Structure 1
């Protein structure tokens, strides 16, 4: 009789364990199906990638520093504002400082595993003390910065383990800008 109860107890225990495992695995299926990054997480990731220094046409040295990320959920876009420094020893006695801002969509770049800027557009490029004859060149420089140098610039780089689900590699899909972060859906294989 004791032997029979022990079997019944073992069967009940295994059944309960199997049910619990099924519930747990079912719950895990939703884990990793999307990522939501807070604005603070994205801001911290962006700050690690700056200052950004670039020489343009062997004439201008440009530095963008102190990025500030703003989210625009209505348009599903982001804005990034920077402190800008423009230096040209031929034309200026000292580096000029100002503000540079751009507006951009986002896309996933598979080779770098990064969420990158897509089609950035200049919203503002103001430099204090810039002589009037250089304002047109500065506007052209801002457009080139946005379209050529910052196109595809990484906002966030995924860790390899973030793109593995149950031992299978997955890729980000739909990217949605939220009021307080960015949501990235994961395409399941």
Structure 2
């Protein structure tokens, strides 16, 4: 039986940083708008900022998790990029696992479960823009399964998402076929 741990026991957590964007900047600045509908980072329109002495702790590392903690849409994504080229905005809580027996992609799947997201949404504060406090996230408890089980969970999640995409494509094709049949019948 695994012992329950809290997120703050297995990861360093910190807020992203607020900076003014600048088209002349050399540092990529990830914002919520850079996440597409499949919860993947879209680098095509990413803003930049000028490095005015950005603290080392703010540079994203490959495998860091970004949790969108502000606003009505909360989710976790994994950063897969180069170090010392990208920082995250203050809309994100950066979660950096510090133990070797947890896969970042597993932790990301765990944080994206409806039960965890629902619990976090209920703990959000603020009257205008809802914000999930980092302290609340740090208290999330989980059991850490074996690496093999973590890999299986991650693969199941990938296959589920792939299935959703395929179903969506099928629905679009069905609608297109129906529209075409309707149009042909009116000729």
- Whether the TM-score (by the shorter chain) exceeds 0.5 is no
Larger Rg: 1
| TM-score, reference length from structure 1 | 0.23
1 or 2, which has the higher strand percentage? 1
